[in-house]
């Protein structure tokens, strides 16, 4: 995709990878709109980056998405890039009695149904643009799951698969479909994620992603995530799974 002269909507743009991408694209002169549930967090990003716009969006609220799409495209008729980044990651104990499905169901609604619903709502507008892209932020855990976050890992695997099908179905349109699959990154996605010594620093991750985006590859795979992405094809899946999920 072209890294300049875009109007970009980023869900979950108030923090973490979403904010990092928003600021990186903003520095390149793009018009950036960040969306998220927490108005105060969005306001902090806007204050730190004059020119970025924000809009409150609850990606879990399916009924609101068609109206949101209409409102955002009316306010920003040049919108041509959607980055589906909003997501939650929560530990689940399937042995608990009862096994509370609240977190699992919210994870599916936000991480998987959210991108599908928002993309569907915006597709008529995006198809009318001469050059456009949909970027879906999945995870290295799409390829080797973290067992303590089973639904998160499953939604990212589903988003990977859906992105492939979306790319194929849109191949004759102006819409480029790109998947960004992060490794562990030092953000606040989960408690202690920021201090995880194995996590890649956010600034380093964003810089590597932007460099790969400039090269035009459909899957954005930084070096640190390739161990997960290639685990099965390299014949090392069982070892990588065991390292990620110690038995003891």
Q: pLDDT for 155-171, tens place per residue?
A: 999 999 999 999 999 99
| Model pLDDT, residue 114 | 98
State mean pLDDT over 25-34. Answer: 98
**99 catalytically annotated:** no
Distance CA 27, CA 6 (A): 12
pLDDT for the residue numbered 40: 97
pLDDT in the model for residue 48? 98
Instruction: State pLDDT tens for residues 42-83.
Output: 999 999 999 999 999 999 999 999 999 999 999 999 999 999
Which H/E stretch holds residue 98? none
Report residue 137's pLDDT band, with 50, 70 and 90 as the boundaries: very high
Residue 10 structure tokens: 């980023």
Q: What phi, psi does 179 have (nearest 5°)?
A: -110, 130
Counting every residue written for the chain, the total comes to 248
Distance CA(77)–CA(248), nearest Å, equals: 54
> What is the CATH code of the structural domain delimited by 7-244?
3.40.50.720
Element of type H or E holding 125: helix 114-127
Task: Name, in order, each residue with C-beta under 8 angstroms of 199's C-beta and a sequence gap of 6 or more.
Answer: 183, 184, 185, 186, 187, 193
CA 102 – CA 104 distance, rounded (Å): 6
Q: Which residues of 124-146 are buried (b: 16+ CB within 10 A; e: fewer)?
A: ebbeebeebbbbbbbbbbbbbbb
149/141 Cα distance (integer angstroms): 9
Residue 240 tokens, joined: 């990588």
Place of tokens 């290295």: 140
Whether the model clears a pTM of 0.95, i.e. scores above it, the answer is yes
SS3 83: strand
Catalytic annotation, pick one of 99, 152, 205, 237: 152
User: What pLDDT score was predicted for residue 195?
Assistant: 85
Q: Cα dihedral sign for 210, 21, 60, 94?
A: positive
Measured CA to CA, the distance from residue 7 to residue 122 in angstroms comes to: 13
Q: What is the pLDDT of residues 207-234, one digit of tens each?
A: 999 999 999 999 999 999 999 999 999 9
* Torsion, Cα of 209, 108, 88, 39 (10° steps): 100
Q: What was the pLDDT predicted at 193?
A: 86
**How much is the pLDDT for 192?**
83
């Amino acid at each position: 995709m072209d890294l300049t002269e875009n109007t970009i909507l980023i869900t979950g743009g108030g923090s973490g990878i979403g904010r990092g991408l928003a600021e990186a694209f903003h520095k390149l002169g793009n018009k950036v709109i960040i969306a998220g549930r927490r108005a105060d967090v969005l306001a902090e990003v806007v204050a730190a980056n004059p020119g970025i716009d924000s809009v409150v969006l609850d990606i879990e609220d399916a009924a609101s998405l068609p109206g949101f799409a209409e409102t955002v495209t009316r306010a920003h008729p040049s919108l041509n890039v959607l980055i589906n980044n909003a997501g939650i990651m929560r530990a689940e104990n399937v042995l608990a009695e009862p096994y509370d499905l609240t977190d699992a169901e919210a994870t599916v609604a936000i991480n998987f149904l959210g991108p599908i619903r928002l993309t569907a709502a915006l597709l008529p507008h995006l198809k009318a643009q001469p050059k456009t892209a949909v970027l879906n932020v999945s995870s290295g855990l799409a390829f080797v799951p973290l067992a303590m976050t089973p639904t998160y890992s499953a939604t990212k695997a589903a988003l990977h698969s859906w992105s492939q099908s979306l790319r194929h179905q849109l191949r004759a349109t102006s819409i480029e479909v790109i998947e960004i699959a992060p490794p562990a990154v030092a953000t606040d996605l989960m408690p202690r994620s920021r201090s995880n010594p194995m996590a890649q620093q956010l600034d380093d991750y964003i810089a590597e992603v932007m460099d790969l985006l400039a090269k035009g590859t459909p899957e954005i795979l930084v070096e640190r995530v390739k161990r997960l992405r290639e685990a099965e094809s390299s014949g090392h899946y069982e070892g990588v799974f065991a390292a990620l999920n110690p038995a003891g």
